Structure 1
């Protein structure tokens, strides 16, 4: 959540003067105006960027099939499974049944994905942020967490457990080989159990994301309460100045804002080894070390690093 915490400062003023509502949920239902069109484009582009970076090829356990999941949000055409079944001389009837069953599960998962996406978008609307670029960037951090947890459930539950069971059931494989270690080695019971597990885990993950969103926004607004007695122009000046100082701090440390806390600490130690007065007693080194310390202190404060 480091990136999200950094955005708390960026949102210091914007959240106070928000006025729009209902946009994200309406967007998901295709109700958007000219400004909404631009936001929709950014929203869709983000999906493409996210999907480009995910690992798409995964092995189907027991069968060793390397299937490609290249259909957003994380589905497949099952071409590799089909090719494998054909090479094994499986009847066309059984191949069709396997592929139809896989597509049936995908349809159900897609319906649930849409439902959970709607829950998240409604949560976005409830915090009532403006339709600014910074607001969009902020909310997309949480949306990407949603995409991440969906992919995780697809890999851990669907790819690792459900797909092998579907293939094994149609091919009449011994359940002990495919779903060993389960209390009930019946394919039908196992598949029902894993589907329920998928739904429950995804719902829990989305609720955690929403709770984190609300907690971060409440923290922003609590922090900003002292600004409410000031003029908006003065607030904007303070915000821009603070954001600028934070950017300078990262530049002084020679890192970008995406760096992890541990990597940041490692980078600071490296700089200290190079410029600390005990290692380098030149005047330039002392000045450099002072700037490094000031920058590191600011970044630590923003990230709440102890």
Structure 2
């Protein structure tokens, strides 16, 4: 942060201080960091410039633009939407109100998929891709993949396609609900999804960023399990023998999701915990040979090698 000697009224340093104090009063967890992000975004300045030019006068128009963003953040609007960007798997992704904000815990799903997808040219699909975070992370690590993604929302699909273009990554995009656009072929080596899994009555929907994210991408009937059940039911006929289904879900849903996969004939079913030691990802394999069924929950340590972030 600029030193106190540069905090004359009307300067960049004074504006940063004002925004930080407003965010702090609003209960924002990292007011210093977020004030720099908001001011920098509004004025087109990086942290180095904010620090080096604290004495710079700020015009009335620039001040208004900054304070408009600050007011929206004070009201709880996610900073990712205000900045129009969120980093995921070290990839800068565009996000807006038409798609969910990618979250760090979803990187576990990417890690497990990279671990399970065999080497060589393989076909994978991300169901309900949203901003494209999962499939683009996979493609960035494995350029050899034939990557597909479906998304019901046209707005979210446009964001995903724009992200792919900006990153120079090739993905086949389809506006569709889960796997309904596909006949029994083509078969995939892995099906990956972070579907809606929140109970419509969950009080967390009225808290934090969830208040502003698209409800259709968050909630599912049957205590949050309805879409997980549909994907489990559809996936097996679209997987090659030995192929994997990997699902993100809520931290209380591990046992239920394992049961869904067991009922559909998947084997080697295992739930993995995220860094907070919460059930987060369950995977199962389409039978091929004589695999052993696990059906338990485990911690997961990210493997070393080419799949590291």
TM-score range, shorter chain: under 0.3
Structure that is richer in helix per residue: 1
**Under a length normalisation based on structure 1, what TM-score does the superposition of the two structures give?**
0.25
Larger Rg: 1
**Under a length normalisation based on structure 2, what TM-score does the superposition of the two structures give?**
0.25
- Relative contact order higher in (CA < 8 Å, ≥ 6 apart): 1
Structure that is richer in strand per residue: 2
